[in-house]
Amino acid sequence: MTILEEPIKEVLALRNYIGDEWVESEGELVDVVNPTTCKVIAKVPISTRDEIDAAVEAAKKVFPEWRRTPPLARVRCLFRLKELMEEGFEELSRIQTMEHGKTIDESRGETRRGIENVEVATGIPSLMMGYNLEDIAVGIDEYMIRQPLGVFGIIGPFNFPFMVPLWFAPYAVATGNCIIVKPSSEDPISQVKIAELGEEAGFPPGVWNVVNGGRTVVSGMLDHPDIQGICFVGSTPVGRDVIYKRCGNTGKRVVAQTGAKNFLLVMPDANLERTIASCMTSFYGNTGQRCLSGANLIVVGENLNEREYNALYEKVVNAFVDAASKIRVGYGLDESVQMGPLRDKSKKLRVTGFIEKGIEEGAKLRLDGRNVKLVGDWPHTCFLSPSVFEDVTPNMTIGREEIFGPVASIMRARSLDEAIEIIHSNPYGNAASIFTSSGKWAREFQYRVQCGNIGINIGIVAPMAFFPFSGMKDSFFGTLHGQGREAIRFFTESKVIVQRWF
Amino acid sequence: MSKGGSRLSEQTTCSAIISFADKLEDNSSRFYEKLAEKSAENKETFLAFAKESRKNKVLVTRTYQETITDALEACFIQINLSNYLAETTIKEDMSYLDALEMAIELEERASSFYFDVAEQSKSLLATIPRAFRKVAEKRNNRKLKLKSLTKNLM
């Protein structure tokens, strides 16, 4: 068992980055706790309304200068930021493991995905270009240009503390806007580190601000007349009932990427070995705390008789349980570990509540993750091992609601039509996958399923930085999505000029 | 399906494999610097091996960091690292010939390690098996060179 060295040696006192200053907040300080060791690794302020207002003021002040900065000069800051991120790759990754709990491989993957967004945004001089047409009438030309809007707020979730704000931030600043990032107060260290690198990369003061905190900061962003738009990733109730509605009330642009209940279909012709390996990634990666995590596995008996279907179902369930039972759980900095803890104790309690509910409603618990087996001697406070339920039905609580933890629910469907109906009966529409060797079934699935991200023989349908991170139904509120070209459209206004010279 | 289950049980994390490779190249680099002191005639060859090991480390680490995703399935490889451990400490009283034999054993294990990881990572992005195979071939070439040096001494 090799435990990698922890980069955080003493309790960090986190501050806000507003304008050109690292400022201490007037707000109360709360603990940031490593969920494995249960030790406090930082103190984060819950900032005040005045502090978010000060950040907006700083961003607003520098905006005219920043938007006039040539795109090529703007992206030079991003090139430097990328280089600094590459230099600090390992430290940034280990910090994520310490503040969130995920394994070091998962953290490094998150760091890479974050950097990829910075890389894509460095293409802004080309990507931001408009278009034109000569002679739309006699002697008249028309063209469209993209212009930045001003100040944007970015509200980050706890499950990807490094990457998710980078779905938005690089595109926002590259297109000439200024940003205020509010990291999750549960794991804010990564975003503070990114702001430090941003300062070193040479962004003018006020372009990239960080204000730590909670509801007061979010409300301050939502109510502020000088914030043009909000990017949010978090739960559906907050995204729909707070962020989306209040942005509508105040005329702000909004990207609200929210909750999920993702279905994975196993067809009779699936490559089962590869499917099960992919399912382990999907259901238990990041300890199930992903909006793209698999939640319900449907074994589909298309074209099979009763006996054949039962044999397939048993085979899939047994293989799934066998594989899940072998996942090594422990500290993410231990290189032998394959799954870390939940982010905190309350999340663990929430997940165990779902497990109890599943038993109560009649699902069969084949693997009970409450019997925690750990690699290493760590407090069990935030840990659960993988759980597997079978004979789950779509109307059971565990089959219907987002658990956000390492719990798999296995369901039955006798046909592809029935499986798609089950997917559509759920209010979420974030991701869905099919495992099959049939192009016909795969096409049918991608054509009909109402989810934003579709996987074909893929367990985690994570769009690359140059594609939008999509979502439908109760999983997304807004029009344009984060990442790639859609992010560029989100952060710019299309201005049309019709021109004639006498 | 039992094959799928057993395969998962033997998997090693990507992080552990890269740490192993890093350590292997660090130790190899130190080993050849020490071996260079034992032979004026082949000093340059051994120092070149040491330098090459430092480059191998950079290549493997960079390939990993540039291609890793947060997808768990890409992070497990079916391999038992203890099969590739090799002695790299040259004792003061060790003869040059014995040290060469030790080097051959080191290269044998190192090239097997890289070839095996390249094979196991075939389903991943092509950059990954390509990098491992490249290092495996370099280490295999060293083995051939070392064998010819040993032959010349006999």
Residue A339 DSSP code: B
- Same domain for A386 and A428, yes or no, is yes
Boundaries of every domain in chain B = 2-153
Q: Which tokens hold the place of B148? A: 């010819």
Supply the pLDDT for residue B10.
54
**Predicted confidence (pLDDT) at residue A187 exceeds the cutoff of 70:** yes
Distances (CA, A) of A482 to A72, A184, A253, A404, A459: 22, 18, 12, 21, 21
To the question of domain B2-153 being in CATH 3.40.50.300, the answer is: no
Under 8 Å CB-to-CB from A474, ≥6 apart: which residues? A236, A240, A258, A259, A427, A428, A429
Question: Could you tell me if residue A299 is inside a domain?
Answer: yes
Q: What is the rounded CA–CA span in Å between residue A275 and residue A161?
A: 29
Supply the pLDDT for residue A115.
97
Mean pLDDT of A70-97: 98
Quickly state the pLDDT bin for B13 (edges 50, 70, 90).
confident
At A66-76, the pLDDT tens digits run 999 999 999 99
- Same domain for A317 and A384, yes or no, is yes
Arithmetic mean of pLDDT over chain B:
86
Between residues 13 and 32 of chain B, which touch chain A (CB distance below 8 Å)? 13-16, 19
- Same domain for A150 and A291, yes or no, is no
Mean pLDDT of A185-207: 98
Arithmetic mean of pLDDT over chain A:
97
- Does the CB of B12 have a partner CB in chain A at under 8 Å? yes
- Same domain for A421 and A483, yes or no, is no
Helix (H, G, I), strand (E, B) or coil at A259: coil
Cβ B16 vs Cβ A2: under 8 Å: yes
Amino acid sitting at position A453: N
Q: What is the rounded CA–CA span in Å between residue B109 and residue B140?
A: 10
Cβ B87 vs Cβ A301: under 8 Å: no
Tokens 């006192």 belong to which residue?
A13
Supply the pLDDT for residue A496.
98
Supply the pLDDT for residue A2.
78
Mean pLDDT of A78-100: 98
Mean pLDDT of A253-263: 98
Mean pLDDT of A479-496: 97
Cβ A332 vs Cβ A107: under 8 Å: yes
CATH for A221? 3.40.605.10
Supply the pLDDT for residue B7.
38
Q: What are phi and psi of A25, to 5 degrees?
A: -85, 155
Nearest chain A alpha carbon to B71: A281
Cβ A271 vs Cβ A379: under 8 Å: no
At A112-167, the pLDDT tens digits run 999 999 999 999 999 999 999 999 999 999 999 999 999 999 999 999 999 999 99
How many Cβ pairs within 8 Å bridge chains A and B?
103
Q: What is the rounded CA–CA span in Å between residue A168 and residue B122?
A: 34
Q: Which of A479, A372, A474, A477 is nearest to A424 (CA)?
A: A474
- Same domain for A226 and A351, yes or no, is no
- Output A388 or B39, whichever has higher pLDDT: A388
Question: Could you tell me if residue A85 is inside a domain?
Answer: yes
Q: What is the rounded CA–CA span in Å between residue A330 and residue A341?
A: 7
- Output A165 or A277, whichever has higher pLDDT: A165
Which of A29-33, A367-371, B72-76 shows the lowest mean pLDDT across its residues?
B72-76
**Predicted confidence (pLDDT) at residue B80 exceeds the cutoff of 90:** no
Mean pLDDT of A432-436: 98
Residue A328 DSSP code: -
Supply the pLDDT for residue B4.
29
Helix (H, G, I), strand (E, B) or coil at A345: helix
Catalytic residue among A77, A291, A382, A451: A291
What is the maximum span of chain B, computed from C-alpha positions, in angstroms? 57
Supply the pLDDT for residue B67.
85
Mean pLDDT of A422-435: 98
- Same domain for A21 and A131, yes or no, is yes
Instruction: For residue B19, give the nearest of A102, A323, A335 by CB distance.
Output: A335
Supply the pLDDT for residue B121.
85
Which of A161-170, A462-471, B64-73 shows the lowest mean pLDDT across its residues?
B64-73
**Predicted confidence (pLDDT) at residue A54 exceeds the cutoff of 90:** yes
Question: Could you tell me if residue A4 is inside a domain?
Answer: no
Instruction: For residue A109, give the nearest of B7, B11, B70 by CB distance.
Output: B70
Supply the pLDDT for residue B5.
30
Tokens 């009763």 belong to which residue?
A306
Q: What are phi and psi of A327, to 5 degrees?
A: -70, 130
Cβ A49 vs Cβ A220: under 8 Å: yes
Asked whether the CA dihedral A108, A111, A117, A121 is positive or negative, the reply is negative
Instruction: For residue B73, give the nearest of A4, A112, A277 by CB distance.
Output: A277
Distances (CA, A) of A86 to A92, A119, A189, A333, B21: 9, 11, 17, 19, 20
Supply the pLDDT for residue B125.
81
CATH for A429? 3.40.309.10
What string of DSSP letters covers A97-135? HHHH---HHHHHHHHHHHHHHHHHHTTHHHHT--EEEEE
Distances (CA, A) of A221 to A58, A77, A218, B48: 14, 25, 5, 59
Burial class (CB in 10 A: 0-12, 13-18, 19+), A418: middle
Helix (H, G, I), strand (E, B) or coil at A324: helix
Question: Could you tell me if residue A136 is inside a domain?
Answer: yes
Supply the pLDDT for residue B68.
81
Q: What is the rounded CA–CA span in Å between residue A249 and residue A131?
A: 32
Radius of gyration (C-alpha) of chain B in whole angstroms: 17
Q: Please report which helix (H) or strand (E) contains residue A443, including its range.
A: helix A439-448
Amino acid sitting at position A382: C
- Same domain for A139 and A224, yes or no, is yes
CB contact under 8 A, B73 and A280: yes
Which of A343-352, A452-461, B64-73 shows the lowest mean pLDDT across its residues?
B64-73
Assess whether A231 carries a catalytic annotation: no
How many structural domains does chain A have? 2
Supply the pLDDT for residue A398.
98
Rounded to the nearest angstrom, the minimum Cα separation between B91 and chain A is 27
- Does the CB of B82 have a partner CB in chain A at under 8 Å? no
**Which chain B residues have a beta carbon less than 8 Å from that of A110?**
70
- Same domain for A311 and A323, yes or no, is yes
What string of DSSP letters covers A353-409? HHHHHHHHTT-EEEE-TTS--EESS--STT----EEEES--TTSHHHHS---SSEEE
Q: Which of B18, B44, B28 is nearest to B108 (CA)?
A: B28
Q: Which domain holds residue A224?
A: 16-258+475-500
Residue of A83, A325, A335 to mutate when probing chain B, most B C-beta within 10 A: A335
Q: What are phi and psi of A134, to 5 degrees?
A: -75, 155
Q: What is the rounded CA–CA span in Å between residue A355 and residue A397?
A: 10
Quickly state the pLDDT bin for A424 (edges 50, 70, 90).
very high
Mean pLDDT of A252-270: 98
